[in-house]
Amino acid sequence: MNPIAAPAPEAPRSTRYRSIRRTTLRLAAPLSAEDCALQSMPDASPVKWHLAHTTWFFETFLLEGRPHYRPFDPAFRVLFNSYYNAVGEKHPRAERGMLSRPGLDEVLAYRDHVDSAVLALLPADAFPAELLELGLQHEQQHQELILADLKHLLSRNPLKPAYQKQWPLTPIRARVPHWIAHPGGLCEIGHAGAQFAFDNEMPRHRVWIEPFEIASHPVTHGDFIRFIEDGGYRRPELWLSAGWELARAWQAPLYWERDEHGWRTFTLHGMVPVDANTPICHVSFFEAEAYARWAGARLPTEAEWEMAARDTPCSGNFLESGALHPLAAREEPAPGTLPQAFGDVWEWTRSEYGPYPGFRTAAGAVGEYNGKFMSNQYVLRGGSCVTPSSHIRGTYRNFFPADARWQFSGVRLARDART
C-alpha cells in the first residue's frame, strides 16, 4: 500500500477533497476485483460497495438536481444508498455481495465522473461548506470500514492471505500500568467551536462526575490471556445475561487461534503470534464488560473518558502509520495526559449511545446520519489504528451494538475513587 498522508484541516477544499478521495483508492489498490466484490457477513460490506457508496453520497447530496449535471447511472441511486429512507429505496444490506455488476472498473469510472463534477464546482463555492465537509468526514469513516470489513473477509479465506506484508512489527516492552486519579466535579463535555463535528457530539453541556480513577493504558493482549486462562469465558458471574449466551460460543477475541506454540491472531499482515504487550482489540462490549468485572474494575463512562483525555494531544497510531494493528506505547507520556487515548483501539465505554441534552436532528435526509441509531448501542472513544488521523477528536462518539467484534475495539478500565 502506498504511504498515506493526512490532509491538513486548513488545506484548500479542492486539495482536501482530492487527498481524501485518493486515500480511499490507495486502500483498494492492493486488492483484486474479486477481493473488492465479496461480502463476508451482513454487518460488513464489499470494498466495491464502499467505493461506490461514498461517491453516491457526494452525487446525491451535492450534485443531484443541479443544472447540467447528468447522473452516471440512475440505478446507482438505489444500489448504493445505505440507510437514507428519505432518499428512496435501497438495496438490502445483507445482499451487497450479490452485486457482481456493476464491475469494479465501472465503479471507478463512477468515482471519476462525480469527482470531475464536484471539482468543477468547488471554485465557485457552489456547495455549503458544512455539507461538503460532512461528505469528506463520511468518506474517512468508510476508509476505516474498508479495512475492518476487509480484515473479516480475508480471515474467512482458508489461505489467511495478508493485505500487506510488513510483519513483524517491532515488539515493544510493556509500560508499568497505574491508575490516574481525577477529582470529578462539574464538567463540560461535547463539541463547541467552529471546527467540524458530527451532530451527535453536540451540544456542549454540563455533567456531574464523581471522583474516579482511570487506567494509564489500555488492557493488553497479555492481560486478556490471563482472563482467558482464569476461565473468563466460562464464568457466568462475570457476564451480562445477553453476553453470556454469546460467550458460550466464544473462547477468545475474534481472529484468535491456539496451536502448540500458543495464541495466534489474524491481522491485515496475515496470521501472527499474539504480542502480549499490545492493546487488546476485536472484543465486544460484552467481553470488555466481563473483563472489567474480572479485574475488579469497570468501564469508564464517556464523560469520564472525555474528561480524562481533554488535555491529551490527538496523536497516536492511526491509519497513516501503516501499522494497521495496535502497538505498545513507545514513550513515556507527558504528565496530565492519558496514554494511548487516541489511535490503536477504540475504547468501549459503559455509556449507552443516546442524544445529548438539547440535541436536534438536522433537517432533510442528512438528519438520518446519526440520530436514528440512538438505541441499543454503546459509545466507543479515541479512534483506532485504521482511523484517519485528521478524522478524530476528543469529543468524537463512535457507537456499535454490544456484540460487535470486527471493529478495532478494545478496553480501558476505570474505577470509583478509593476513599
pLDDT score at 408: 98
Say how far apart CA 89 and CA 405 lie, in whole Å.
Answer: 29
Q: Is the pLDDT of residue 290 over 80?
A: yes
Average pLDDT rounded to a whole number, residues 373-402: 97
pLDDT score at 1: 57
pLDDT score at 2: 54
pLDDT score at 419: 65
Angle between helices 47-58 and 13-28 (to 10 degrees): 160
Average pLDDT rounded to a whole number, residues 179-205: 95
> How remote is the C-alpha of 3 from its chain's centroid?
20
- pLDDT tens by residue, 229-241: 999 999 999 999 9
The residue written with cell numbers 509500560 in the block is 175
pLDDT score at 3: 63
- pLDDT tens by residue, 408-417: 999 999 999 9
Query: What is the rounded average pLDDT for all residues in the chain?
Result: 94
Q: H helices then E strands: how many in the chain?
A: 10, 12
Q: CA nearest 37: which of 149, 164, 144?
A: 149
User: What cell was used for 58?
Assistant: 457526494
Residue 418: pLDDT band with limits 50, 70, 90: confident
Strands 378-381 and 179-182, by their bridges, are: unpaired
Domains of the chain as residue ranges with CATH: 13-155 (1.20.120), 179-416 (3.90.1580.10)
Residue 101: pLDDT band with limits 50, 70, 90: very high
Buried b (16+ CB within 10 A) or exposed e, 188-213: ebbbeeeebbbbbbbeeeebebeebb
pLDDT score at 167: 67
Buried b (16+ CB within 10 A) or exposed e, 282-296: bbbbbbbbbbbbbbe
Residue 170: pLDDT band with limits 50, 70, 90: low
Residue 93: pLDDT band with limits 50, 70, 90: very high
pLDDT score at 417: 94
Residue 171: pLDDT band with limits 50, 70, 90: low
The percentage of the chain sitting over the pLDDT mark of 90, rounded to a whole number, equals 86
pLDDT score at 9: 67
pLDDT score at 176: 80
Say how far apart CA 89 and CA 372 lie, in whole Å.
Answer: 17
pLDDT score at 234: 97
pLDDT score at 370: 84
pLDDT score at 126: 84
**Cβ neighbours for 335, distance < 8 A, ≥ 6 positions apart:** none
pLDDT score at 119: 96
The percentage of the chain sitting over the pLDDT mark of 70, rounded to a whole number, equals 97
Q: Is the pLDDT of residue 124 over 90?
A: no
Which one is predicted more confidently, 5 or 53? 53
pLDDT score at 15: 94
Buried b (16+ CB within 10 A) or exposed e, 84-107: beebeeebeeeebbebeebebeeb
Q: Is the pLDDT of residue 331 over 90?
A: no
Model pTM greater than 0.75? yes
Average pLDDT rounded to a whole number, residues 2-19: 80
pLDDT score at 339: 93
Average pLDDT rounded to a whole number, residues 26-51: 98
Q: Is the pLDDT of residue 146 over 80?
A: yes
